Amino acid sequence: MAQIISQNFDFEKYLKETKKVVEEALDSSLSPERPEILRESMRYSLLAGGKRIRPILCLASCSLAGGDPELAVPTAVAIEMIHTMSLIHDDLPAMDNDDLRRGRPTNHKVYGDAVAILAGDALLTRAFEMVSLRSPDVDSKRLLNVVGELSLVAGAPGLVGGQVVDLECEGKKVDLETLEYIHLHKTGALLKACVRTGAMIAGADEKLLTALTSYAEGIGLAFQIIDDILDVTASSETLGKTAGKDLLADKTTYPKLLGLEESKKRALNLVKKAKEAIIPWGEDAKYLLSLADFITNRDR
Ligand code: GRG
């Protein structure tokens, strides 16, 4: 059934048009910024491309919940800001120490560590400004819920906590449970916030939020499994970031623990279950259903 709904509309067109909306909103979200070096560094990473899967998930979820996706654009931008700042900080010498991101030299390679850290800080704080002060026409109680959700996923209970465990585990033998903990926090938490906040802006009830949470948990883990697989199978050129990095940093990954075939099977199974959680919403679920397939079929 999911397959039938997914094929009933032009997903490529939807993706292209929604991405354009996101790119334009990102472009206009960063002014005025002083001093100039900070503005440049923030824009350098935020406007460097990327799949924009997170903001698109947020807007698609708002649509599923019966809301006007236009109202969720500032939150979608905020989420991409949090994601981008996490990439800037992740690439720093004190963390993953990477030279290439989104097909260009990493932020600290261009602007130096100090400015890169501060650009990340400024993007993170701007994210909360986008929701609280730049979301006209959204009920303030709903915005407060969105701020709460984003503060939880960005902080120790989410990305930061996952990153710390990930760094601690480098070079160590890691079991599947710990690996899942890392991924659910480092990657899954923000993906979950995308779909939950989009729906919150539309005023979704608990039943829908619970279904969307199940959907997001499935695609979140699947997204990271595919990321691990691509690290082994794709080139740096295609990925726009250094391929083979996990092996080099002696990181435990799904392919390392389960093998490539079993990892792929696990990702497909997670996506199937994710889709089942939102099938009762029928035609309204078509964007999120197709986005789930997009996540497993992506090549970068
Ligand atoms: C959020 C306060 C705060 C701190 C950040 C550094 C850090 C703490 C966390 C690291 C999080 C991280 C880098 C997770 C990896 C997530 C991931 C799979 C990124 C790749 O996402 P894609 O493929 O990339 O969507 P594009 O470039 O397409 O956006």
pLDDT tens per residue across span 75-110? 999 999 999 999 999 999 999 999 999 999 999 999
Indicate which atom in ligand 1 lies nearest the CA of residue 223.
18
Quickly list H helices, the chain.
2-6, 11-27, 36-46, 53-64, 73-91, 107-111, 113-133, 140-154, 159-169, 176-183, 189-201, 206-233, 236-239, 245-248, 254-258, 260-278, 286-297
Separation of 87 CA from ligand 1 center, angstroms? 5
- Mean predicted confidence (pLDDT) in 233-249: 85
Separation of 4 CA from ligand 1 center, angstroms? 32
- Mean predicted confidence (pLDDT) in 183-208: 97
Predicted model pTM: 0.96
- Mean predicted confidence (pLDDT) in 156-166: 97
Q: Is the dihedral of CA 137, 132, 72, 39 positive or negative?
A: positive
- pLDDT, averaged across the chain: 94
pLDDT tens per residue across span 264-293? 999 999 999 999 999 999 999 999 999 999
Amino acid at 266: R
Separation of 82 CA from ligand 1 center, angstroms? 8
- Mean predicted confidence (pLDDT) in 5-24: 88
11-297: CATH, from 1.10.10.10, 1.10.600.10, 1.20.120.530, 1.10.30.50 = 1.10.600.10
Which residues approach ligand 1 with their CB closer than 6 A?
A: 50-51, 53, 82, 85-87, 89-90, 95, 102, 124, 154, 159-160, 163, 186-187, 224, 227
Ligand 1 pocket: which of 104, 163, 182, 226 to mutate (most atoms <8 Å of CB)?
163
Separation of 85 CA from ligand 1 center, angstroms? 8
CA separation for the pair 78, 148 (Å, rounded): 13
Indicate which atom in ligand 1 lies nearest the CA of residue 298.
23
Which of 5-14, 157-166, 186-195, 277-286 shows the lowest mean pLDDT across its residues?
5-14
Indicate which atom in ligand 1 lies nearest the CA of residue 160.
8
Interacting residues of 275 by C-beta distance below 8 A, sequence separation 6+: 2, 215, 218, 289, 292
The residue whose CA has the least distance to atom 29 of ligand 1 is: 50
Separation of 1 CA from ligand 1 center, angstroms? 32
